[in-house]
């Protein structure tokens, strides 16, 4: 069996993800290209499929390659990546499913929502390599139940909710990442029940109460 037909492991996919992250940091890939190639890498089953996302990156050793120069894949097998100068499909652009609620978006940045910000019934988080904090402790909710859809790569997401709130993270799909719920899961019993869905790739999402909540409970 040829090396390109061998099955790949999660560790190999994660290693390729790290190489793609470095390529973004070096300016070799745009964030849109990174997203497309990560989707291809996560779906890859063989080394040949996995190496497709690396073949045009200089100085990168392909998975399973030990000094041999690999030829680029046939034209029919090459993914239709966009160049760095072209716009990438995303929220608000043609060809991308348009969300019905408010969108919180971050690209290699720090994003914070806190204080008395208005929270719609449906909220979308689209983040790439960002530090995101959504603080609901003083927010104004339009409804008791809020649905949050997450589409993330390599970010740290923190959800801060009131002490009486409940959070459901059961529908969050993590790929080489983590989802940590430090509050009650339900049923809805306070001013907010936050239902989180979507995917976190190579990142983390944590739901927790404001700092000092446990101490105040103990005193009361």
Looking at residue 71, its pLDDT comes to 42
Looking at residue 17, its pLDDT comes to 84
Looking at residue 35, its pLDDT comes to 86
Question: 73 in helix, strand or coil?
Answer: coil
Taking the alpha carbons at both ends of the chain, their separation in whole angstroms is 68
Residue 46 DSSP one-character state: B
Looking at residue 199, its pLDDT comes to 93
Across the beta sheet with 166-175, what order do the strands follow? 102-107, 122-128, 145-153, 193-201, 166-175
Torsion angle, alpha carbons of 130, 177, 125, 23, to 10:
50
Q: Are 52 and 78 in contact (CB under 8 A)?
A: yes
The domain spans of the chain are: 3-71, 102-211
Low-confidence ranges of the chain (pLDDT < 50): 66-98, 215
Q: Are 99 and 120 in contact (CB under 8 A)?
A: no
Please tell me the distance from the alpha carbon of residue 110 to that of residue 94, in angstroms, as a whole number: 26
Torsion angle, alpha carbons of 26, 30, 31, 33, to 10:
-120
For tokens 């739901």, the residue is 207
Looking at residue 97, its pLDDT comes to 46
Looking at residue 66, its pLDDT comes to 44
Please tell me the distance from the alpha carbon of residue 7 to that of residue 12, in angstroms, as a whole number: 10
Looking at residue 9, its pLDDT comes to 87
pTM over 0.95: no
């Amino acid at each position: 069996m040829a090396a390109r037909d061998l099955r790949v492991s999660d560790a190999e996919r994660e290693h390729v993800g790290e190489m793609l992250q470095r390529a973004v940091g070096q300016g070799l890939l745009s964030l849109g290209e990174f997203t497309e190639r990560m989707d291809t890498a996560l779906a890859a089953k063989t080394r040949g499929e996995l190496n497709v996302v690396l073949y045009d990156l200089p100085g990168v050793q392909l998975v399973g390659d030990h000094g041999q120069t690999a030829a680029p894949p046939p034209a029919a097998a090459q993914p239709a990546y966009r160049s760095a100068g072209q716009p990438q499909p995303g929220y608000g652009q043609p060809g991308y499913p348009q969300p019905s609620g408010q969108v919180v978006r971050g690209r290699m940045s720090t994003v914070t929502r806190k204080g008395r910000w208005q929270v719609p019934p449906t909220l979308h988080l689209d983040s790439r390599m960002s530090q995101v904090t959504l603080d609901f402790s003083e927010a104004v909710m339009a409804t008791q139940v809020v649905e949050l859809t997450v589409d993330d790569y390599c970010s740290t997401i923190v959800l801060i909710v009131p002490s009486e709130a409940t959070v459901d993270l059961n529908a969050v799909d993590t790929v080489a990442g983590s989802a940590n719920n430090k509050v009650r899961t339900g049923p809805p019993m306070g001013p907010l029940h936050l239902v989180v869905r979507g995917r976190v790739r190579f990142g983390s999402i944590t739901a927790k109460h404001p700092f000092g909540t446990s101490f105040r409970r103990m005193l009361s």
